[in-house]
Every structure is written in C-alpha cells, then in structure tokens.
Structure 1
Amino acid sequence: MAGVGAIDSELLGGLFATVPMCAVWSDGARLQAMLDFEAALARVQSRLGVVPHAVGEAVAKAARAEFYDPAEIGRKVPLGGNVAIPLVKELTARVEGEAAGFVHWGATSQDVIDTGLMLQAREGLNLLRADLVRLGDACAALTSAHRATPMAGRTFLQQGLPTVFGLKTASWLESVERLILRIDGVIEQSLALQFGGAVGTLASLGPHGAQVRDELAVELKLHAPAVPWFTTRERIIEIGEAVGAVAGIMMKIAGEIVLMMQTEVGEVFEPAAPGKGGSSTMPHKRNPVGAATARAAALQAQARAAALHSTMDQPHERATGGWQAEWGLVPELFVLTAAALQPLVTVLEGLEVRADRMRENLEMTKGLVFAEAVMMKLAPKTGRAVAHHILEAASKLAIAEDRHLKDVLKADKAVTAHLDAREIDGVFDPLGYVGSADVFIDRALGSWRDARAEDVG
C-alpha cells in the first residue's frame, strides 16, 4: 500500500515528507514508543513491589522494536481494532519465565497507544522547534541586513505606503518566536501520560493505582493529569493546533515570497541551484518551487489540523471512531508540517533580495504612495479633513494626466500656500515616512536574541 498517499510515495515523498519526521512517525517508532510504555510500567511496578522484582528487567529486555515485525502485527490489527492488542501478545510471548504473566499489568490498550503517541509527539515537536529556530535565525539576519531597505507596503495587494523590507521579515520573526513559545507550552503542559486501566479507575491495581500512575509519569517524563483522559481529547487538539499554526505561518511566509517573485514585482528570489525552479517548456522560468512546496504541504497539514477538531466527540470512557481517526491524522499533520517548514528554511537562508527593484517599484506610482505623507505634513496647517480632500484631488489629477504627484502638488496653490518646494521634495524620501519601523525592528531582534540566550542557558 506504500505510495498511495503523497507522504510515503517514492515519487512525491521528497516534496511532502522529511526523513527525520518520517522516522519519528514510522511503524518502528510507533511500536518502540508503545514498548517504552510497557517497559516503564514494568520497571515502576517492580520497583514498588506491585509485581515481582524480576519483571521490570525481563520486560525491558524484550521491549525492543527490532524484535517485532510491523507487517505481521498489522495483519492482526483488524481483529482487535488496535495495534496494542497483538503487540502485547507478542511482547508477552517474548518475555521469559514467570515475568510473562505480569506484562501489561493493570493497563489497557488505550494506555499504551495514547502514551506512545505522546512520546512520539514530543520528538516531533522538538524537531519542528529546531527547524523554527533556524528559520528565525534566517529572519533575524534578513531583518538586520534590510532594516533600511525601502519597499512598498501593500494593502489589498496594492501599494499603500513606504515601509522597509526588514520590518516585513521582523513580522515573520516575531511569528516564528511565538510558534516556538507555543510549542514549548505544549511540551510542558499538554504531553500527558495516559494510564487508567479499563475505565479510568485502575481498579485492577487495588490501592497501588495512583502511586504507580504518578511514578510512571516521572519515569516517562510526561505530565500527570489529575485523572485519566480517555475521551477528553483537548490535549490532542492543543498539540494539533500548535503544529497547525506552524503550517499556517509557513503558508503565509511562502505566499509573500511567491508574490514578491512575480515577474512584474521581482523583489526577491529563492536561492538558485542547478535544475531548481525551471520549467519543462519555458527555459527562462525561475519558479518559486520551495515556497510552492511549502504552501502545498501546509495546505494539507491544515486540513488534518481541522479534522482533528471533529474527533473530540468521544462518548463515555472509550471512543468509537474519533480516537481511532487520530492515529492517522496526527502523524500526517506532523510530517506535512515539517515538509512545509523545511524548504522555507533553505529559501530564507539563501534569499536573494533585490533592493534596487524594491526602489523601482516604489516609484511605479509616480509618488502616489507618498500621498498620506504629504497629507500629514499639510494637516497641521489646514486640518486633516481639508488636507485629505486636497491630496485626494491631487492624486486623481496625477493619475488622469500621468504626472508625478510631486509636480502636481508644486503647481497646486492649496498646497504651496503652506508648503514650499523644498518641503514638498523632502516628503518624497522613502525612509522619511516609515514611522517607528526602526523601533519595532529593534524590539523584534532584541526579543529573539533574549529568547535564544535563554535556550543556551
């Protein structure tokens, strides 16, 4: 069945999957995560005297994924409806001596599967976090290099006012930093042990249930919620929303790169490489293939994140459908998000910025992007409403007669009554009307530096 989906396709996997993230969510990793739960459970129960002392070592010895055939276990999954049932049977068969009778002691299938998922999610989140740090470093470098590179700020895809490219990348930087903080919060609060036995009471462990549960959480370095959470799945949603947010921001950044790479705009370009971005028929093309791949992967990832919300309706103490749907949605969400993030790291680390083209595009409107700047210069003398009316009329005249706004204003007595030619010329400096951009850039860069210093600490 390999190759049906884009993620595991030999043809498409290079676009929609990354090797490290696929390794985290592979069949072998899924088995190992569940076996890690079983080994930890046996160690804790042996240490507490709930089961014979030798059980912990015996189970841990057998709890290695390479001992088990995923295909063989998979053939048995439809009979029990989940992978834990055949896995526990094979684990029990491999454990030597009387210890075999204490495998999976007091646990249920969902304990194994949910906790295994949390262990895998922790690895996946840390992978995303590492790539986000690289992406943020690339954004910070661009922000520092282009804090004084003027360009057109665009609203509704049309030129609005002058800005600087460094402010745009600073906004990307702050989003990346917030994504990292969100991932950190999920790792701290949402990655939780699942251990409740048949219906969440751990009745089979008698008076030892709560203690075993608490010690098991410590053993696996997972949060221990007050009660088992079999059918209250907001933790899964919190993980999904954090990963989905990463995909969403990747789509946004990639989308802006695509727009700025348009022939008519030409302000940035993805780093060149032999054979990259070409067309099968148009030799001159330089396509934004990295950004396009990121957007395609992000779109698919967000569909999985949205679908996770619909799995929350899980009745009573065990689900019929919603829980099972998570088994495919969560891994695919992680893999697709990693595939959206990785190409953007490469793109931003080598992004070609055409500052000259940005300046040319600012001149495209023949000064109209400075209309507000002139209005605000004139407003203290005429009042804002009057100044707005004067500049609106002047802008329409400049468009109608295909003249530079500066020339129209110098011939307008309503303007020259308050501003001389030198003052008018001064308003048309792109870096003279970028407001607090420098301050905002400093704040974004400072926050990023502080956060990375905390990482090192």
Structure 2
Amino acid sequence: MIDRYSTPELRTLWSEASRYRAWLKVELAAMQAQAELGEVPAAAHAELVQKSEHDPLDEAFALRVAEIEAVTRHDIVAFTTALSERYGDAARFIHHGLTSTDVVDTAQNLLLDEALSLIMADVQALQEVCRSQAVAYKHTPTVGRTHGIHAEPMTFGLKFLNWMATLDRDLERLSAARARVRVVMMSGSVGTYAHVSPEVEEKVAAAWGWQVAPVTNQTLARDRHAEVLSAIAIFGTTLEKIAVEIRHLQRSEVREAMEPFGAGQKGSSSMPHKKNPILTENVTGLARLLRGYLVTALENVPLWHERDISHSSAERVILPDATQAASYAARRLTGVLRNLVVFPERMLKNMNDLGGLVFSQRVLHLLIDDKGMAREAAYAVVQRNALQSWETGEGLRDLLSRDPENPLDDSDLDRAFDLQWYLREVDHIFARFGL
C-alpha cells in the first residue's frame, strides 16, 4: 500500500524486517518444541534466542536476504542462509523437518492476527464515536428518506445508532475471521508429518494459545484467508454506507451535515466557494479496493494438487494492502464523524419544505381507525390531496381541511401532523443498546 493510504502501525507490521521476525518466531517456536522432545540440542535453541534478542532482525538483514534470494531464487533458503551468517553455527538446527510453507503460512497468520487486532481497535474507536453522536442527536428531528425521497420523520441520532449496530456485527465477523487464522501448521512436505512430529505443532499451538490446523497438505487452506478478506470487505461496505450518507447530506440541495473543513483548506483550484466531501469520497474509493481484494482471495482458494504458489504473489499485495486500507479508511471516517458539522435547523426546514407530506400515513390511519373509512377510500383521499400538494406546493393539511370527502376536523389534523408522535418510540429503541 502506498504511504498515502497506510497507517504507521500496519506499515511497520508488513515491512520486510517484520516479516522475517515473524518467520524467526515460528522457527524458534518449532525449535523449542523439538528441543523439548530431544530432537535438536536445547543449547542451540537457547543460543539462538539469546542472539536474536541481542541482535534482532532489522532492515539490514532484510536487504541481505534480498541479496541472497537474487541468487537462490528461494526466499526461505535465502532467509536461513542469512540467519546462519548472522547467528552462527547454532542456526543449522533451524527449519529442521519443516517445509517452507510451514514457516511462511504460520508466520503470516501471526501478522494477520496482529493486523486484525489493530483493525478491530479502529472499529471500536469508530463505534464509540457513533455511540456518542447517537446520544447527542438522539432527539434531533430529521426526515427519513427512502429511494432518496422524503418518507417520514425520524431523528438524526437513529442514523448513528444504526451505524453503531452495524459496526458491532463487523466486529463479530472480524473476530471470527481472526480466530480462523489463529492456527499453527507444521506438518512438513505435503502434510504427512514424515519429517516433523505432530507433537511439535501441538506444542507450538499450546504455547501460543492457538489451534492446530487439523489436516493440511502443503499449505494452509486459503478459504481461511478468503474469510478474512470477506470480513474486511464487508467492513469496507459499512464504511462506504456511512460515507455515502454523509456525502448525500452535504449536497448543496440538502446541507444537513457536512465534513469538517479546516482553516486554510481549499475545496477547488478554480471555484473558491467549494466545500467538497473529499474525505468520505476517499473512503468510498478505498471500499472499492477492499471488495476487489476479496475477489482475488476467493480465486486463491483452488490450488493445484497439494499446493502451488499462484496465491503467493497475490497475497503479498492483498493482505498488507487490504488491512492497511481498512485501518486507514476507518480512522479517516472516525475523524469525519467526530468533527461532523450538523445543521438541525436545516433538517427541520427540509422536512417542512414539502408542506406536511411526510405525515400522510398518520392521516391515512386516522381515517381508517377513527373515522371507519375503508382503506382504499381513505388512501384515495390522502393520495389525491398529497399529489395536489406535490404539484401546487400548497400544504397537505390546508388541502385536507377543504376537502369535503375528508371527515377529519382541526383537532384530528393536529394529531395527524404532530411531529413528536412519530418520535415517541425513539427512547425505546435506544434502550435496547443501554442508551
């Protein structure tokens, strides 16, 4: 991922040096288990642990691996060769009985586990902002829109409450996906444990509090990674859903809420008056990337026979990029919602601009319930006057009051056009969330 759309933590996590440190963690964990089983010298393991702590793998090591790989054309061979150069003879017991994918896939799971933890923290931060704004605007009236058209009154806080609830489901999906990759695979070539005892894998998993992949071939099944990318892509759609709403509310014709606009910020190179929703448009674009990464992850699932490496090159791009883009987009949207500029007076004005049409269902029900009209007849009365209101701009209540077929009197119409009647259950909805 380019620096523009990455976060410092994930940029560091997916660096080459970090990847090699994860590889070494896997190698040392396997070596410790093998030492406990008497398969490799415990002293060699202790020496490597001491040396790696004193002289941790860094960018210089990553550069050396790249130099060796240019000759060997094999990254794990280059890695183990560079380890021997750096740490000496004890490194000869590294990678004993393992195959490359044992190390690469298990280490990649370590990185994914950390990346997903960071993303989940970002989701929680965004969720907390939604919670705060939901409470702040709990009783702020606004018009609900369906198909982009005024529907009925609601509150602005309900929008945030909906987003908060959606983010809770995103957290559940991300947590489940993280659990799916918290597995250790150390089964050797084609997964038969011919050269490494299953006890090694079990010991490592127990030490980390992870699970053992119960059966593998020579690679961890890629449906696990597809599930991760699916959870991230769905989270991306949540981000886009929120972003699109903010973009709509910022439109000149609506102007109910808008992104923060900083001092000195410029909206256009040619039109000085412009305040464009560039932050949320950016989130929308990143969400499209996240969905695209999922397609690639799904295509990585079917590999030839026990393995090929057609997934490898793709994963070197999609896993770092998807996790970084998701984290970046979440943080960007969190900032937008925390500093959102809201115009409650404009919300009321927009609601009233259609002359009370948003109260049509309440009128319909009063005609049916209180006046005993058949539904079809009541609907005809309300719709006829509503369509006339659309065409002439005259208020629906005024039209109804002059309609001889409408039996509702002024007190009935007061009840029908009561805004607070529509919002009377808002507290009940919020109470479901302890708010």
What TM-score, normalized by structure 2, do the two folds share? 0.93
User: 1:252 aligns to what?
Assistant: 241
- Give the Å deviation of 1:68: 4.6
- Give the Å deviation of 1:303: 1.1
TM alignment of 1:39-438, pairs within 5 A:
39-63=28-52, 64-66=56-58, 68-77=60-69, 83-97=75-89, 99-205=90-196, 209-228=197-216, 230=219, 232-276=221-265, 278-380=267-369, 381-415=372-406, 417=407, 419-434=408-423, 436-438=425-427
- Give the Å deviation of 1:437: 3.3
Please say if residues 61 and 82 of structure 2, whose CA atoms lie closer than 8 Å, have aligned partners that are also in contact. Answer: no
- Give the Å deviation of 1:424: 0.8
- Give the Å deviation of 1:440: 2.1
Please say if residues 243 and 333 of structure 1, whose CA atoms lie closer than 8 Å, have aligned partners that are also in contact. Answer: yes
- Give the Å deviation of 1:275: 3.0
For 1:356 and 1:146, how far apart are their aligned partners in 2?
A: 13
Unaligned runs of 5+ in 2: none
With over 3 angstroms needed to count, the CA separation of the structure-2 counterparts of 1:113 and 1:375, relative to structure 1, is same
TM alignment of 1:28-39, pairs within 5 A:
28-39=17-28
Give the number of equivalent residue pairs: 429
Please say if residues 261 and 268 of structure 1, whose CA atoms lie closer than 8 Å, have aligned partners that are also in contact. Answer: yes
For 1:316 and 1:347, how far apart are their aligned partners in 2?
A: 48
SS in 1 for 2:153: strand
Q: What's the C-alpha RMSD, in Å, of the aligned pairs? A: 2.0
Question: Deviations along 1:331-361, whole A, 9 cap, x unmatched?
Answer: 1111111121111111111112211111111
Instruction: State the one-letter code of the partner of 2:186.
Output: F
With over 3 angstroms needed to count, the CA separation of the structure-2 counterparts of 1:390 and 1:351, relative to structure 1, is same
| Greater CA drift, 218-227 or 145-154 | 218-227
With over 3 angstroms needed to count, the CA separation of the structure-2 counterparts of 1:44 and 1:428, relative to structure 1, is same
Instruction: State the one-letter code of the partner of 1:218.
Output: A
With over 3 angstroms needed to count, the CA separation of the structure-2 counterparts of 1:319 and 1:28, relative to structure 1, is same
Instruction: State the one-letter code of the partner of 2:323.
Output: F
Please say if residues 134 and 156 of structure 2, whose CA atoms lie closer than 8 Å, have aligned partners that are also in contact. Answer: yes
SS in 2 for 1:154: strand
Instruction: State the one-letter code of the partner of 2:212.
Output: A
Question: Deviations along 1:361-406, whole A, 9 cap, x unmatched?
Answer: 1012111111122112222221322222221111111122221111
Instruction: State the one-letter code of the partner of 1:169.
Output: F
Question: Deviations along 1:162-189, whole A, 9 cap, x unmatched?
Answer: 1111111111000111111222222334
For 1:340 and 1:113, how far apart are their aligned partners in 2?
A: 28
Question: Deviations along 1:220-262, whole A, 9 cap, x unmatched?
Answer: 3432121236152111111111112221111111111111011
Moved over 6 A (4+): none
- Give the Å deviation of 1:278: 2.4
For 1:445 and 1:252, how far apart are their aligned partners in 2?
A: 24
Please say if residues 193 and 223 of structure 1, whose CA atoms lie closer than 8 Å, have aligned partners that are also in contact. Answer: yes
For 1:110 and 1:62, how far apart are their aligned partners in 2?
A: 25
Instruction: State the one-letter code of the partner of 1:387.
Output: A
What TM-score, normalized by structure 1, do the two folds share? 0.89
With over 3 angstroms needed to count, the CA separation of the structure-2 counterparts of 1:311 and 1:214, relative to structure 1, is same
Instruction: State the one-letter code of the partner of 1:70.
Output: A
Please say if residues 354 and 393 of structure 2, whose CA atoms lie closer than 8 Å, have aligned partners that are also in contact. Answer: no
- Give the Å deviation of 1:37: 0.8
Instruction: State the one-letter code of the partner of 1:300.
Output: L
Unaligned runs of 5+ in 1: 1-6, 447-457
- Report sequence identity in percent: 27
- Give the Å deviation of 1:77: 4.0
